[in-house]
Structure 1
Amino acid sequence: MARRAPEAGFHYRMVYIEPALIQKILGGRPLPFIPDGLSADPRLRRAAQPLLKAVTDTFEPLEEEDALYDLAQTLAVVGGQRSRRQAFDYLAAERAREYIHACFMQDMTLDTLSQVSGRDRWSLSRDFRTLYGTSPWRYVMMRRLDFCRQRMRAGERLVDIAADAGFADQSHMTRQFISRFGLSPGRWLRAIRG
């Protein structure tokens, strides 16, 4: 993605993703075909944003895998591929969900969730989204933020809450909090206290 900077010329960010990884995420389907290799489709731009942002920002492993999954699925849709209906594994997804509830404060990857659930990571990601309506990374993030809100209500310090919840630091927690709830933690706390 390129944007014109006033006097500095063009700036762009680029990420390289192995085509074999896209194919693996898509469950072995053929690689998506985008005519001329270019697309102005806004869905692709939205799907690529998190990966491009990760060039300069901190990215958790599960967050990166989530963004890769979203990009691969969007490429398939924009490339005109019809998704095949595949059976999902409820028990595997439930084992992953239970693990997330027990360990949301820790860094985790799809590989970890795959080992816990007994399902390959990309099938697990698809199953999790189908069954719970969100990705594993977003589910982890909501568990962390729920934990933060409980601790904030109890009057604990934000810096301690952020560390205990598994965030890199308080600013990471604040960015995620604002992204999910539209308010900073301090403003949210003032709002609920009236």
Structure 2
Amino acid sequence: MSAHNWIDLAQDADTGIETLRAHFEGHAYDPHWHDSYLVGVTEQGVQQFNCRRTRHQSTPGKVFLLEPGDIHDGEAPTEGGFTYRMLYLDPQWLERELASLFENAPLNSQLSFARTLATDPFLAQATGQAFQALHGGELKIVRQTALDGLLERLTHHLHWRQRYCEDPRLPLVAQKAREYLHAHAQQDIGLQQLAEAAGVDRFRLTRAFKAAYGLAPHAYLVQLRLSIARRLLAGGEHPVTVATQLGFADQSHLGRWFVRAYGLTPAMYRRRCSNLPDRPAHDR
């Protein structure tokens, strides 16, 4: 991370919601995704990112809304960089909390954002208030009130969409390969092995996969492992253990990829989310 870039990350113990405030100049992070719903507000500068085959530019006051699995990157196209604050909302928590606001959720459905970038001053204000209450460790009643305000405003931007087992919009080949990667994420998977699982040759697989998900299979596998690593680290696992479990060559290899995707080291992320020391006492 350059001298001008900084990240302030915390996690709310009651809800598991991560709160992040950060500033980046130039390149911010490589394409990646999260298991969470992301709700963020740009405070300063121009926050440029690619998501769903579209380049977005978020300026001060705009709210960006990403669903779990949305591949996105980030950069500052203007001098002075950009500053933003963001909430990472656990999908199960969000659906459970919204159950009282949505009377009847359709069967086999999932919450979806109507658009990636929104101009909604009320949502921006609610996001900022929820961030401040959680990040600042306010009283529980204050945090819950702020979150209720955010949830109520989010309903204007959420809808239920069909949860596809097989998405008709994407090639079946790519979906089969993606399912195989998720089922064998910790193994040393070869491209030929993946192609055979999908029933095509390597070249057709790579073209179909990249067209469907915006990343080549090997890049998708790395991001999948990073997503799992993030979850394990937040649960208190040590970076060296996580690196071994997920098939990275070593801890430094995990660290390089983690920084490129999230802007901070695995040890720093673990410390901010779990409040545990970096190493076991007997390793010091």
- Kindly tell me: are residues 114 and 91 of structure 1, through their superposed partners in 2, closer, same or farther at Cα, counting changes over 3 Å? same
Which of 146, 168, 176 is residue 227 of structure 2 equivalent to?
A: 146
Tell me the alpha carbon deviations over residues 105-151 of structure 1, each in whole angstroms, 9 at most, x when there is no partner: 11112101111001110111010010111111111011101111111
Aligned equivalent of 1:158: 239
Q: TM-score, normalization: structure 2?
A: 0.36
**SS in structure 1 opposite 2:189?**
coil
- The reply on whether 1:107 has 2:188 as its aligned counterpart is yes
Q: Aligned partners of 2:206, 2:170: CA distance in 1, in Å?
A: 11
Q: What are the Cα deviations for residues 157-176 of structure 1, in whole angstroms up to 9, with x where unaligned?
A: 11111111111111111111
What is aligned with 2:251? 170
CA distance in 1: counterparts of 2:230 and 2:273, whole angstroms: 10
Structure 1 counterpart of 2:178, from 97, 100, 112:
97
Does residue 130 (structure 1) correspond to residue 211 (structure 2)? The answer is yes
- Matching residue of 2:106: none
Is residue 2:204 matched to residue 1:116?
no
Q: CA deviation at 1:192?
A: 4.4
Task: Quote how far apart the aligned CAs of 1:188 are.
Answer: 2.5
Structure 2: how far apart are the matches of 1:172 and 1:153? 19
Q: How many pairs align?
A: 107
- The amino acid that maps onto 2:186 is M
- When residues 114 and 156 of structure 1 are mapped into structure 2, their CA distance, relative to the original with a 3 A threshold, is same
Answer yes or no: is 1:184 the counterpart of 2:184.
no
Q: Distance in 2 between matches of 1:132 and 1:158?
A: 28
Q: Distance in 2 between matches of 1:165 and 1:127?
A: 25
Shift of the 115–131 alpha-carbon distance from structure 1 to 2, 3 Å rule, reads same
Structure 1, unaligned runs of 5 or more: 1-87
Would you tell me which structure has more strand in proportion to its own residues? 2
How has the CA–CA distance of structure 1 residues 113 and 89 changed in structure 2, closer, same or farther, with 3 Å as cutoff?
farther
Q: Which runs of 5+ in 2 are unaligned?
A: 1-168, 276-284
TM-score normalised by length of structure 1: 0.51
Contact 2:174 2:205 in 1 (8 A): yes
Aligned partners of 2:269 and 2:181: how far apart in 1? 25
The alignment partner of 1:138 has SS state of helix
Q: Provide the C-alpha distance between the structure 1 equivalents of 2:189 and 2:201, rounded to a whole number of angstroms.
A: 15
Amino acid paired to 1:138: A
Over aligned residue pairs, what C-alpha RMSD do you find?
A: 1.9
CA distance in 2, matches of 1:163, 1:156: 11
Change over 3 Å in CA distance of 1:90–1:139 after alignment to 2: same
Matching residue's letter, 1:93: A
**Partner-residue secondary structure (3-state), 1:166:** coil
Partner SS for 1:155: coil
Q: Which amino acid aligns with 1:99?
A: Y
